[in-house]
Amino acid sequence: MTHLRRMLGLMSISISLAACSHLQTKEGAYLDSVKGQATQAEVRQALGAPKAVRKSAEGEGVWVYEFREQQSGNRYTPPGTWCEEYLLTFDDKAVLQKWKQVSHFHGGELMPTECIPGIEQPKL
């Protein structure tokens, strides 16, 4: 019986770790599936208008998307807002080349003014 409990415990931990390592937002899954193929027009159709459009230091077009989700608190987690910021880089032909996701939890804040605090925004 002890061996069976140990096996079940190890299986449970393995399944939990596997599930956590494969969690991805729908936006992230979309961007992964179209990287190197999608044009700015196709990305705009799928994700809507970006919050900001900038140029990187290398002169590449960078689109900034921001998604926020409020989290109600319970006795284990505080209330607040999750903020996801996506930075999409396009080449000179307006094709998505790479993207980066940055997440931040604003504990206790339901309407934060900055999505990701402390990150210097690229110059226009």
What pLDDT, on a 0 to 100 scale, did the predictor assign at position 122? 47
What pLDDT, on a 0 to 100 scale, did the predictor assign at position 43? 96
What pLDDT, on a 0 to 100 scale, did the predictor assign at position 120? 54
* pLDDT > 90 in the chain, percent: 35
Residues 77-99 pLDDT 10s: 778 888 888 999 999 899 999 99
Q: Give the predicted TM-score (pTM) of the model.
A: 0.67
DSSP H or E stretch at residue 43: helix 40-47
What pLDDT, on a 0 to 100 scale, did the predictor assign at position 124? 37
CATH architecture of structural domain 25-124: 2-Layer Sandwich (3.30)
Tokens encoding 97:
């080349």
In order, the DSSP letters of 6-63 are HHHHHHHHHHHHHHHHT---HHHHHHHHHTTT-BHHHHHHHH-S-SEEEE-TTS-EEE
Can you give the residue ranges of every domain in the chain? 25-124
Longest dimension (CA), the chain: 65
Read off the amino acid at residue 118: G
Read off the amino acid at residue 12: S
